[in-house]
Chain A
């Protein structure tokens, strides 16, 4: 039997979090000076793919802990729409670009553009000598140790998400929006996400395998979440596309009720609803879950805390809403790793044929343009 590298990655996340935590925390203490933190009036988090999911997953955490207006945007938006329209003085804008490789053209472009327009820029990357890192004013090294086998990534995402959370806590304690005791409690709670995830990887295995059968037999799938779990929904949909090539998309839970509720073939549209129990969206999630059941969609509603109304609880204790995206995203990777795409299915379509990306500019060779 072939090794399931994606599954192995998902199972490695709890130990990865524990392994990276201490050094990541130390680095977040040193990356910016106190005056630089106090000068910041706006935060921009930007990325592509999984890194964008990490940015979106941290947006709420930064907003809550720092009281600094924070936006998470795709690299294209950061580069070609945001950078040229930065409000002055731009040095009060802190732009954090997230990319494990630091090589995608749009990330290099966005970092260059934001630096050129005067923003204080930080590259959060595993490659400190990458073109994106060189375009940034400061580099925050974040790297997940290599893992055997090529598969849709989870570890790089988890490392970035963890570091962004730690940076948000750091900002909060320096600015005084949270006390040092609160910061210490939050750090402890963040580290406990490893335990939560470890427990969930065991308790969810059987129900996930059962639901993966629905996903395996369908040509489409929808992932729903709000706030930080909108990022998890995006991450999960991306993993479906990367792993098995199924048409999968993410939608905000409320927007679903406006739009995708009306999709045809509900019984052929497995739906995963992220519903953290302490999240502000929870009451709406329960309502949407009712709608999904009436529609007859194969549905998996994931929650934490006490299980209720047919939802699958991933953890007996509620997860801090500031950190839910890390837990739910990694778990969604675990779920997707069990989806069977059929005998000819290869991750990323084996980068062959039209997917070889040799006959057109890909994410790295795309032309860089500055506006």
Chain B
């Protein structure tokens, strides 16, 4: 398993596609899957279009519209953005798996893998596990 570090500069989407491609190529596995896992409760990982950066903002806006940061969350031991972040993380998900074929990560031409930060800026990690033969 490879553990990668990322320092988010605030809330939002941070592309990590290259680090996953690199991990896949480095391990030499030709057929299998790669699992990307985010070991945090206020962050997530997702696949979205990487063609237009403004599209990132649309996704952020919609997630914030669905789960606005409120002051009346029941979870108050941490902060309101932390409480909202837990819900966003649960909905978006902290893990994805992608197919490896011919030693290559199988992503559509416009797709990218993104670390989704909901309580930044933070020092974060994500894990990459490649399984196959």
Contact = CB atoms under 8 A, between A and B. Distances in A.
Interface of A: 29-30, 33-35, 37-38, 173-174, 176, 179-181
B76 to A, nearest CB: 5
Contacts of B32: none
Interface string B65-109: 000000111001111111000000000000000000000000000
A177 to B, nearest CB: 11
Contacts of A37: 71
A167 to B, nearest CB: 14
Contacts of B72: 34-35
A33 B78 contact: no
Nearest to B7: A181
B122 A33 contact: no
Contact of B77 (A30, A176, A181): A30
A174 B121 contact: no
Contact of B80 (A30, A174, A181): A174
Contacts of A180: 78-79, 81-82, 119, 122
A23 to B, nearest CB: 14
B79 A174 contact: yes
B133 interface: no
Contacts of B76: 33-34
A174 B81 CA distance: 8
B123 A181 contact: yes
Nearest to A30: B77
B112 interface: no
Given A174-B80, A179-B119, 20 more contacts: A29-B78, A30-B77, A33-B76, A34-B73, A34-B76, A34-B80, A35-B71, A37-B71, A38-B71, A173-B78, A173-B79, A174-B79, A176-B81, A179-B120, A179-B122, A180-B79, A180-B81, A180-B82, A180-B119, A180-B122
Contacts of B81: 176, 180
B50 to A, nearest CB: 26
**Top 6 closest A-B pairs, CB basis?**
A34-B71, A35-B71, A38-B71, A34-B76, A174-B79, A173-B79
Interface residues of B, number: 15
A180 B122 CA distance: 8
A30 B73 CA distance: 14
A181 B119 CA distance: 9
Nearest to A174: B79
Contacts of A33: 76
Nearest to B83: A34
A30 B123 CA distance: 26
Contacts of B120: 179
Given A29-B77, A173-B79, A181 B71 contact: no
B121 to A, nearest CB: 5
Choose among A29, A173, A176, A179 the residue with the greatest number of B CB atoms under 10 Å from its CB: A179
A174 B119 CA distance: 12
Contacts of A34: 71-73, 76, 79-80
A196 to B, nearest CB: 24
Contacts of B121: 179, 181
Contacts of A30: 77
Contacts of A174: 79-80
A176 B79 contact: yes
10 contacts: A30-B77, A34-B72, A37-B71, A174-B79, A176-B79, A176-B81, A180-B79, A180-B81, A180-B122, A181-B122
Contacts of B123: 181
A278 B76 CA distance: 34
A33 B79 CA distance: 10
A180 B81 CA distance: 9
Choose among B78, B79, B81, B122 the residue with the greatest number of A CB atoms under 10 Å from its CB: B79
Nearest to A37: B71
A38 B81 CA distance: 13
A296 B132 CA distance: 81
Nearest to B10: A179
A180 B82 CA distance: 9
